[in-house]
Amino acid sequence: MTSEEQRADVWMIFISSQISTLISATLLWTCTSIAFAFALRVQLKREVQTRASRALITTTCLFFLFTTAAWVMRLGVVYSYLHRDVDNAQIYLLVEGVMVSVNYFLGDAVLLWRAWALTQQDWYRWLIAIPFVFLCVGLVFTGFIIACVAPGAASAFTPGSALCTYSPKIVWAVSFLTNVWATAMIAAKAWELRRFMKYALGRPGSTKGEKVLAVLVESGAFYMLFWLVTIPGLFVTLSTADSYISQTGSVHFILIISSVGCQLSGLIPMVIIILVHRQCATPYDLEVESLPVVEAGRCRL
């Protein structure tokens, strides 16, 4: 195979992979749009006078806004590559990365909010300070990512610099650690409640509070599993033509996983709101102030 034929094969594989990412992102964006409509509906049906409820409605809208913006950037990426406008495609990719990082930050903030609300009466509530530090670190590096796409940025924030290259990886790492820690705290609360209900009633798993906690723990576990699946998209590089040609399936998988991250980071929180609404009188959040409150089946903000 001549070098010209090899380059043509690599380009065809790359373009087909990019089209696959657009199809996958479009399907997930459609699901996100449906989930957004349902999540907004169940929230607006309830009392929205509290600051917490208004904040969560605003966050839900921001999730959808950034998810939609990321999908539009994905359209721009594919369109630019189809016209061999690589420079423009790189700009779209950087902006898409900003949307992804902001969605990760919002998701982590909501998760910490839930963990804090659930454990503020417990002795281990101060452990929330650790993922809060992770969240702050993620916010700083999200700012670096935004600086990388800002016009007139300093040389340290030019595309290809160390900060622009490693900031998305650091945001991924601290987001994953935040999810692990906060989900572990929610799981500890769920285990504590289950023990109490088994001791008090002899039949754990029958209250709304337990079911809501189970939803939060299971969704957190799924989120962490997805985070692990996205590792190849962040750290695996196929730098040679031979690697593209010999690993076509891997190329498709890596690019698709990388492109759908923002869609899932917006979709999963909305699905959680809907699932919690099915178990709880208030879909915004869950606050367990004391075990007797949960025993009575009340879900409070």
Domain 7-295 has CATH 3.20.20: no
Q: What is the token pair recorded at 287?
A: 């606050």
For residue 227, the number of C-alpha atoms closer than 13 Å in the C-beta half-sphere is 24
pLDDT of residue 184: 85
- Contacts for 83 with CB less than 8 Å, ≥ 6 apart: none
The residue type at 297 = G
* Residue burial 42-74, b: 16+ Cβ < 10 Å; e: rest: bbeebeeeeeebeebbebbeebbebbbbbbebb
Q: Over range 187-198, report the average pLDDT.
A: 78
Q: Is 224 or 3 the better-scoring residue by pLDDT?
A: 224
pLDDT of residue 255: 67
* Residue burial 123-147, b: 16+ Cβ < 10 Å; e: rest: eeeebbeebbebbebbbebbebbbb
Q: How far is CA 26 from CA 20, 75, 133, 259, in A?
A: 10, 9, 34, 10
- Name the average pLDDT for the chain: 73
Burial of 29 (0-12, 13-18, 19+ CB in 10 A): buried
- Contacts for 227 with CB less than 8 Å, ≥ 6 apart: 172, 175, 176, 179
CA dihedral sign of residues 291, 127, 129, 171: negative
Confidence of residue 144 (pLDDT cuts 50, 70, 90): confident
Question: CA 110, CA 29: separation in Å to the nearest integer?
Answer: 21
Q: Which of 37-46, 123-132, 182-191, 205-214 has the lowest mean pLDDT?
A: 205-214
Confidence of residue 155 (pLDDT cuts 50, 70, 90): low
Q: What is the token pair recorded at 272?
A: 């959680």
Asked whether the predicted pLDDT for residue 30 surpasses 90, the reply is yes
Q: Residue 287 forms beta bridges with which residues?
A: 300
